[in-house]
Structure formats: C-alpha cells, structure tokens
Amino acid sequence: MNRSDFRGFVRAGIALGAVLASTALATTAAAAVPGGDAGQGRASAARQGVERGCAVVYFDLGETLVHSAEDGSIGYRPGAAAYLRELRERRIPVGLITNVPSAWGETDAERAAALKKEIDSAWTGSEPFAWGDFGDRILTPRTEEERKPAPVLWERAKAGAGGCRLVYQAETAEEVDVAASLGYVAYLIGQPSRPDYLPARLIELLAHLPR
C-alpha cells in the first residue's frame, strides 16, 4: 500500500468512526426520552436525520464507473450498475467530475452531450449507462487548464451543492487526495479488503452529520 492509498484508507476509517459515534449518540438520546420506547426513538431519529440531511456523490467516470476494454468497447465496471441502482433507490443524487476535451463544447451541457455520444457509441453492456441519474451534474473542463487534478471542477461542484455533504469516488489516488483537501469525503475505489464503493448506507448517515 503506497502513501496515497494509505491516506485514502485512513480517511474512510475516520468517516466510518464518525458515523458510529453519531449513531451511538443518537441511540443514547433516544433511550433517555422519558416514557419513550428506545427502539421507536432510534427509528424516528434515524428517519428524521436522513430527511434533514443531504449528500451528493460525485464520481470519476473512466475505470471508476465504466471500463474500456482493449478492443475499444465500453461497459460498466463490475458492481457499478448495482451500486448506482442502490443510490437511486435511496434517493442519493449522483454526479460526474470527469475530464473531456474542452473543445467538445462551450458549456457543460454541450460537453456532456458529446461525452454521452462517445460512450454510447462504444457501449456493449447489457444495460445502458444510467445517464438519467446524473441530470445536469456532469462537470467537465471549460479549458485545458481546468482538467483534473486542477481543483476547479471540484470547486464548481461544491459551489452548487447547496451545503450538502459531498462525496467523491475515483480510482486515482491523486484525485482522491485533491477532493479530500477541498472537504469531500473521498474514497479510493477498488482496494483490497475494502468495499469497491463507499457503502450507500454510510453515505446516508454521513449526510446528516454536522458539516
């Protein structure tokens, strides 16, 4: 494990520890309500916390959600489709922060349309890529100087997040480090002895921790 991987592992552990501490505090508070049922209090507190909280999960695209084969074909990375489906079912918004040529368009929408065309033209997966989940949260460089690992795209995502908890997941340690330095819960995917992606239930809990 290199130094960047170790930092990513520590960040995930800290986040998990914070969630466990928060859950323990919520349980104690619920149990202390006079005349209340602790089990019902815990369930009610959890429901209210999820309703009050919000989180947006941003991803890199290539080799994070999709894989490009040697023959040029493109499909989901193993586990990615199911993970996106779970986030959708839990109503956790998702977005992309991905490098494409700035010449692909004048706006994020134009560059996103060109990206979709590029991916779809080589797609061989059994189900199409879930573009509809991402809405207008597909951020791409307006200039070549904005390409990751420059911090601009993460800063733009943060400015438009409305104060929600931000998560970034990628396969590149350098990108994970930059996102973490900007306040994201950053997760390096595909590491041994760890979940491929940050568990969706953990993201739900992180959503209503103090920011």
pLDDT at residue 207 above 80?
A: yes
Which one is predicted more confidently, 8 or 33?
8
Which one is predicted more confidently, 188 or 17?
188
CB 84 within 8 A of CB 61: no
Domains of the chain (ranges plus CATH)? 3-207 (3.40.50.1000)
Lowest mean pLDDT among 33-37, 66-70, 171-175: 33-37
- Give the pLDDT of residue 86: 98
- Give the pLDDT of residue 208: 87
| Structure confidence at residue 11 as a pLDDT band (50, 70, 90) | low
If one counts every other C-beta atom within 10 angstroms of the C-beta of residue 150, the result is 15
If one counts every other C-beta atom within 10 angstroms of the C-beta of residue 89, the result is 9
- Torsion sign over Cα 96, 154, 148, 4: negative
CB 189 within 8 A of CB 62: no
Please write the tens of the pLDDT for every residue from 14-57.
Answer: 445 444 433 333 332 233 333 344 344 434 433 443 445 899 99
Please write the tens of the pLDDT for every residue from 89-145.
Answer: 999 999 999 999 999 999 999 999 999 999 999 999 899 999 999 999 999 999 999
| Structure confidence at residue 198 as a pLDDT band (50, 70, 90) | very high
Global confidence as pTM: 0.77
